[in-house]
Amino acid sequence: MRILLANYRYFISGGPERYLFNVSDALTARGHTVIPFSIKYTRNQSTPYSRYFVEPLGARDEIYFRDQRPTLQTTWRTFTRLFYASDVERAITRLVAETRPDVAYILHYLRKLSPSLLVGLKHAGLPIVVRLSDYAMLCPQAHCLRDNAPCELCVRGDLLPSVRYRCVQHSFAASSLNALATWFHRFRRYFDLVDVFVTTTEFMFQMMHQAGFPKQRLRFIPTFVNGNAFRPAPNFAKANYIAFAGRLEEIKGAHILIQAIAHLRRSRPDLPITLKIAGTGDAQYRARLEQQIVENDLNDAIQLVGELSANDLSDFLGKAIVSVVPAIWYENMPNAILESYACGTPVLASRIGSLIESVTDGKTGFLFEAGGAMKLAERIAFCLDHPELLVTMSSNVRHIAETVYSSDVHLIELEQLFGGCINHAQVLI
- Name the maximum alpha-carbon separation found in the chain: 71
Contact of 129 with 195, CB cutoff 8 Å: yes
How do the domains of the chain map onto residue ranges? 2-133+195-224+407-428, 234-403
Contact of 55 with 87, CB cutoff 8 Å: yes
Q: Which of 380, 350, 393 is nearest to 241 (CA)?
A: 380
Q: Which CATH architecture has domain 2-133+195-224+407-428?
A: 3-Layer(aba) Sandwich (3.40)
Contact of 62 with 69, CB cutoff 8 Å: yes
Q: Which of 203, 118, 142 is nearest to 14 (CA)?
A: 142
> What is the DSSP track for 60-104?
TT--SGGG----HHHHHHHHHHHH--HHHHHHHHHHHHHH--SEE
Distance CA 3, CA 6 (A): 10
Give the model's pLDDT for residue 424: 81
Give the model's pLDDT for residue 120: 97
pLDDT tens for each residue of 91-149? 999 999 999 999 999 999 999 999 999 999 999 999 999 999 999 999 999 999 998 89
Q: Which of 229, 228, 276 is nearest to 254 (CA)?
A: 276
> What is the DSSP track for 403-425?
HTT-HHHHHHHHHHHHHHHHHHH
The pTM score is 0.93
Backbone dihedral angles phi then psi of residue 76, each to the nearest 5 degrees: -65, -45
Q: Which of 58, 106, 115 is nearest to 81 (CA)?
A: 115
Contact of 61 with 41, CB cutoff 8 Å: yes
Phi/psi-derived region of residue 247, left when phi > 0, alpha when psi is between -120 and 50, beta in every other case: beta
Backbone dihedral angles phi then psi of residue 338, each to the nearest 5 degrees: -60, -45
Contacts of 125 (CB under 8 A, 6+ apart): 425, 429
Contact of 284 with 395, CB cutoff 8 Å: no
Average pLDDT over residues 3-13: 95
Q: Percentage of residues in the chain with pLDDT exceeding 70?
A: 99
Backbone dihedral angles phi then psi of residue 33, each to the nearest 5 degrees: -105, 125
Backbone dihedral angles phi then psi of residue 206, each to the nearest 5 degrees: -70, -35
| 3-state SS, residue 161 | helix
Give the model's pLDDT for residue 427: 53
CATH of domain 234-403: 3.40.50.2000
Tell me what the pLDDT averaged over the chain comes to: 94
Give the model's pLDDT for residue 84: 97
SS3 labels along 253-277: CHHHHHHHHHHHHHHCCCCCCCEEE
- Asked whether residue 414 carries a pLDDT value surpassing 80, the answer given is yes
Give the model's pLDDT for residue 178: 93
- Asked whether residue 428 carries a pLDDT value surpassing 60, the answer given is no
Give the model's pLDDT for residue 429: 47
Give the model's pLDDT for residue 332: 87
pLDDT tens for each residue of 339-364? 999 999 999 999 999 999 999 999 99
pLDDT tens for each residue of 225-274? 999 999 999 999 999 999 999 999 999 999 999 999 999 999 999 888 89
Say how many Å lie between the first and final Cα of the chain, rounded: 18
Q: Percentage of residues in the chain with pLDDT exceeding 90?
A: 89
Give the model's pLDDT for residue 426: 61
pLDDT tens for each residue of 198-217? 999 999 999 999 999 999 99
In this structure, the chain runs to a length of: 429
Give the angle 208-218-347 at the CA atoms, nearest 5°: 70
Contacts of 429 (CB under 8 A, 6+ apart): 125
Q: Which of 121, 119, 39 is nearest to 84 (CA)?
A: 119
Backbone dihedral angles phi then psi of residue 302, each to the nearest 5 degrees: -130, 130
Average pLDDT over residues 391-407: 96
30 to 23, 149, 215, 403: CA distances (angstroms) = 11, 42, 29, 19
Contact of 317 with 340, CB cutoff 8 Å: yes
pLDDT tens for each residue of 370-390? 999 999 999 999 999 999 999
